[in-house]
């Protein structure tokens, strides 16, 4: 590879270091020059899936010994990586796609190598999260990365409840067989009015971006089977002042119900009566209960 930017001079690539190297999320042209330089420089490449990585390396004309470091062996494999580093080798780590450690293995390896007193060097590049956010719009300029929601319904509701009042946009990863269920659950728990960006197959042949509301999301996905194919990033607008106003509008109803009912029953009834999001009402009910209890404490002083 021509050293277009004199890469070896721009930064010293220390020996006995672990390089965390981002790789493309689809389009193989999205590798960085530094990533190619480092992958060519290292003595060994640790990879989430050595067969996938071998194919990728072949496309770039790089030949290196590989070793597997994946979700199920990350701690043990870290010991081997540390041995190679202590012997003075440079080792790169790559996940199957995108940036290691982002809903991917890599972070335990980073911790183990740092705990052993060795150097870790980030080599940045593609990530589906940042790629989707770059085309979301100003409403997603502050964000919380959630990644994959739990697959069990109860845990999913709990996770969303904890996020319902966050003012930041929420970013989710999702697989094709669950995307419809997830978008439906998001609408049910966060309310149908929030903006939603469905980013599918980013950087690939069938890349598709669609912005709609959470209520419109399931209809859009069901209107053409192709719309549920591929890999997805979902970006959902954060909790807004407008939502606040509509939630606060239900305060008196919630307060009355809370006087005689447990929180969950009061929220269920309030959601049925008002059509507002159950999660948002739940979070507000907890706030109102807190305020009432604080009032009581103040009163005693």
List of residues contacting ligand SAM (CB under 6 A)? 25-26, 95, 97-99, 102-104, 127-129, 173-175, 199, 201-204, 231-233
* Cβ 137 to ligand SAM shortest distance, Å: 17
Structure tokens that stand for 108 in this block: 């335990």
Measured CA to CA in angstroms, residue 99 lies from 31, 94, 184, 226, 273 at distances of 11, 8, 28, 27, 45
Structure tokens that stand for 131 in this block: 């790629």
Residue 31 near residue 23, CB atoms below 8 Å: yes
* Cβ 199 to ligand SAM shortest distance, Å: 6
35 vs 100: CA distance, rounded Å = 13
Residue 94 near residue 62, CB atoms below 8 Å: no
Residue 45 burial class via C-beta count within 10 angstroms: exposed 0-12, middle 13-18, buried 19 and up: buried
| Helix 278-300 / helix 263-274 crossing angle, nearest 10 deg | 130
Which residue number is nearest to ligand SAM in terms of Cβ? 98
Residue 192 near residue 271, CB atoms below 8 Å: no
* Cβ 152 to ligand SAM shortest distance, Å: 18
Structure tokens that stand for 187 in this block: 């609408």
Measured from the CB atom, is 6 or 224 closer to ligand SAM? 224
* Cβ 60 to ligand SAM shortest distance, Å: 18
Measured from the CB atom, is 130 or 285 closer to ligand SAM? 130
Measured from the CB atom, is 234 or 270 closer to ligand SAM? 234
* Cβ 269 to ligand SAM shortest distance, Å: 36
64-71: Cβ within 8 A, 24+ apart: 64/39, 69/93, 69/105, 69/109, 70/105, 71/105
Measured from the CB atom, is 42 or 97 closer to ligand SAM? 97
Measured from the CB atom, is 193 or 201 closer to ligand SAM? 201
Measured from the CB atom, is 173 or 282 closer to ligand SAM? 173
* Cβ 158 to ligand SAM shortest distance, Å: 21
* Cβ 207 to ligand SAM shortest distance, Å: 7
Measured from the CB atom, is 182 or 277 closer to ligand SAM? 182
Structure tokens that stand for 248 in this block: 């606060």
The residues, ordered by sequence, that sit 6+ positions from 41 with a Cβ below 8 Å of its Cβ are 8, 13, 90
* Cβ 27 to ligand SAM shortest distance, Å: 8
Measured from the CB atom, is 103 or 213 closer to ligand SAM? 103
**Residue owning tokens 């796609």:** 97
202 vs 132: CA distance, rounded Å = 8
């Amino acid at each position: 590879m021509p050293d277009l930017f004199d890469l070896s001079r721009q930064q010293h690539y220390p020996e006995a270091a672990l390089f965390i190297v981002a790789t493309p999320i689809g389009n193989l042209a999205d590798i960085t020059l530094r990533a190619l330089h480092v992958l060519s420089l290292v003595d060994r490449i640790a990879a989430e899936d050595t067969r996938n990585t071998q194919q990728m390396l072949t496309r770039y004309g790089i030949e290196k010994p590989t070793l597997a470091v994946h979700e199920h062996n990350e701690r043990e494999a870290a010991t081997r990586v540390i041995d190679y580093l202590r012997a003075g080798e440079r080792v790169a780590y790559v996940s199957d796609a995108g940036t290691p450690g982002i809903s991917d293995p890599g972070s335990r390896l980073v911790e183990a190598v740092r705990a052993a007193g060795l150097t870790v060097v980030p080599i940045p590049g593609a990530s589906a999260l940042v790629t989707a956010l770059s085309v979301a719009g100003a409403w997603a300029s502050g964000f919380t990365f959630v990644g994959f929601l739990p697959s069990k319904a109860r845990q999913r509701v709990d996770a969303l409840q904890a996020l319902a009042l966050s003012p930041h946009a929420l970013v989710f990863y999702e697989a094709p067989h669950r995307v419809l269920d997830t978008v439906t659950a998001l609408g049910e728990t966060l309310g149908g009015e929030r903006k939603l960006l469905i980013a599918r197959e980013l950087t690939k042949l069938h890349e598709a971006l669609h912005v709609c509301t959470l209520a419109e999301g399931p209809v859009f996905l069901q209107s053409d089977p192709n719309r549920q194919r591929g890999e997805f990033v979902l970006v959902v607008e954060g909790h807004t002042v407008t939502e606040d106003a509509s939630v606060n509008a239900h305060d008196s109803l919630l307060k009355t119900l809370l006087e005689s009912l447990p929180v969950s029953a009061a929220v269920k009834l309030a959601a049925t009566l008002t059509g507002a999001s159950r999660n948002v009402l739940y979070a507000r009910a907890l706030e109102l209960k807190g305020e009432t209890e604080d009032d009581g404490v103040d009163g005693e002083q």
